[in-house]
Structure 1
Amino acid sequence: MSTLDKLRDRIRQKGLGRTFGTLWKRYVFFHWELLWMERDLVSPVPPHKLRPYPPVRKVDITPENAIAFAKHFGNRVETMAELAAEGHTGHMYLDDEGHAVAFIWGSTRDYHDRHYYGCWFPVKEGEFFEFGGEMTRAFFGTRLSVDVQVALWEAMAAQGCNKVVDTCETHNIPALKLHIRMGYHEQGRVTHVYGLFGRWRFYRQSTYSGSRLDPLRKPGRPVVAAASAEA
């Protein structure tokens, strides 16, 4: 199929407006806002009604076993091996055939995300930066989204950490709701990522007051008391 045919097919499926918007962001300009959030590692996760999931096996990611990502995350095999070689803590979850169906990472030092955002994420003493959490579609809406995080928190607490920090794109509503479900709290700061002509990227930081998550909370859902911030 030619490039023109692919474009026509996309327009038929998504409409001219959405297609133009996607192309604009990919080849001309985009602006992402990454909200910073945090959580202590000991407060219980708020109750949830997520469904159970089939048996999986948690394995520490190493450069040698990263090939397990080939089936469902084929374009990530090299990235997973690199992250493991750099000494970050990674967990993957394998199905009964040995294929990775979910993964998550944690870093106790400043993390340079050269694979996606292209910027640095600073990490303070006593905390760790959680990143890269993802799972296959078959596990969406299951308890695995909770269990992978709790298991990583426990592993990082054993390394001396007492707080998890991470960022979430403001346009990723499901991920923002997951942070609410897990009891995260906003730090009131944002990392802005700008892309120009598909080649250059620029970054800046800003702060805000109040909450940008409150509009996403379900009516009647209590707000968990905020964890104390480090000086």
Structure 2
Amino acid sequence: MSALHKFSQHIKQKGLRATLKKTWKHYVYSHQELLWMERDLVSPIPPHRLKPYPPLQVVAITPENAVAFTRYFGDRVETMAELAREGHTGHMHLDEKGDAVAFIWGAARHYHDRHYYGCWFPVKEGEFFEFGGELSRGYWGTSLSMDLQTDLWKAMLAQGCNKVVDVCEWHNVPALKLHIRTGYEEQGRIMNVYEWFGRWRFFRETRYTGSRLDALRKPERSPATPSVA
């Protein structure tokens, strides 16, 4: 399919304005805001209504067993092996066939994300940087999104860490809501990622006061007032 045909099809499906906006962002200029979040490793997860899931096996990711990603994350096999060789702590959850259906990573030192954003994420003593968490589609909406994290927290706590830090894209509302449900707090810091013409990237950190997530929080229900007959 030619680029012109793809462009025409996208206009029919999304409209001209959305198509031009996406084209500009992809080929000319884009700006991503990554909100820094943090959480301790021992406070319990708040109650949730996520669906249960079938039993899975939690396995540490190594260069040798990264082949388990082939079925659901085929384009990540070498990346998973590479991260394991670098000494980061990775967990994958395997189904009954031995296929990885979810994974997550933790770095107890400064992390250079050359696979996606291209910048450094500094880590203080006692912290670890959580990244790369992902579930295959069949497990979306299940409590695996919580267990995936808490299993990693236990492993990093055993390594001497007491806090998890990570970043979340400002436009990724489902991920931000997951952070709220999991009990994360905002740090008031943003890693800004700028990209020009798909080639040059620039990074800078900015700060803010107050909360940028309050609008996403569910309002607390006030107790029902008994009616008087």
TM-score by length of 2: 0.94
Question: Structure 1: which 5+ runs fail to align?
Answer: 222-231
Structure 1 residue runs of 4 or more that deviate by more than 6 Å after TM superposition: none
What SS class does the counterpart of residue 191 from structure 1 fall into?
strand
Greater shift, 13-22 or 151-160, is seen at 13-22
Give the structure 2 partner of residue 152 of structure 1: 152
Give 1:204's aligned amino acid: R
Corresponding residue SS for 2:9: helix
Amino acid at match of 2:114: R
Deviations 1:159-207 (A, max 9, x none): 0000000000000000000000000001111100000000000000111
Q: Which residue type is aligned with residue 171 of structure 1?
A: H
Question: Equivalent residue of 1:109, what SS?
Answer: coil
Q: Relative to structure 2, which stretch is displaced further, 94-103 or 104-113?
A: 94-103
Other structure's SS at 1:46 match: coil
Secondary structure in structure 1 of the residue aligned to 2:15: helix
Cross-structure match for 1:170: 170
CA apart distance, 1:13: 1.9
Residue 75 of structure 1 corresponds to which residue in structure 2? 75
Percent of pairs with identical residues: 70
1:206 alignment counterpart: 206
Aligned: 1:118 with 2:118: yes
Partner SS for 1:181: helix
Shift of 1:154: 0.2
- 1:76 aligns to what SS in structure 2? helix
Q: Which amino acid aligns with 1:57?
A: Q
User: What amino acid maps onto 1:131 in structure 2?
Assistant: F
Correspondence list, 1:11-160, <5 A: 11-160=11-160
| 5+ long unaligned stretches in structure 2 | 222-229
**In 2, Cα distance between the equivalents of 1:127 and 1:154?**
13
CA positional deviation for 1:4: 2.1
Q: Give the root-mean-square deviation of aligned CA atoms.
A: 1.0
- Per-residue CA shift, 1:126-183, capped at 9, x if unaligned? 1100000011121111100000000000000000000000000000000000000000
Q: 1:37-77 deviations in whole A, cap 9, x for unaligned?
A: 10000100100000111222111111111111112111111
In 2: Cα distance, 1:68 partner to 1:19 partner: 37
TM-score (norm 1): 0.93
Instruction: State the partner residue of 1:227.
Output: none
Q: What is the match of residue 180 of structure 1?
A: 180
Distance 1:55 1:20 in 2: 45
Does the residue aligned with 1:13 lie in a helix, a strand or coil? helix
Within 2, Cα distance between the matches of 1:49 and 1:3?
A: 44
Rounded Cα–Cα distance in structure 2 between residues aligned with 1:187 and 1:151: 23
After TM superposition, give the deviation of residue 23 of structure 1 in Å: 1.4
How many residue pairs match? The answer is 221
Which deviates further from its counterpart, 11-20 or 206-215?
11-20
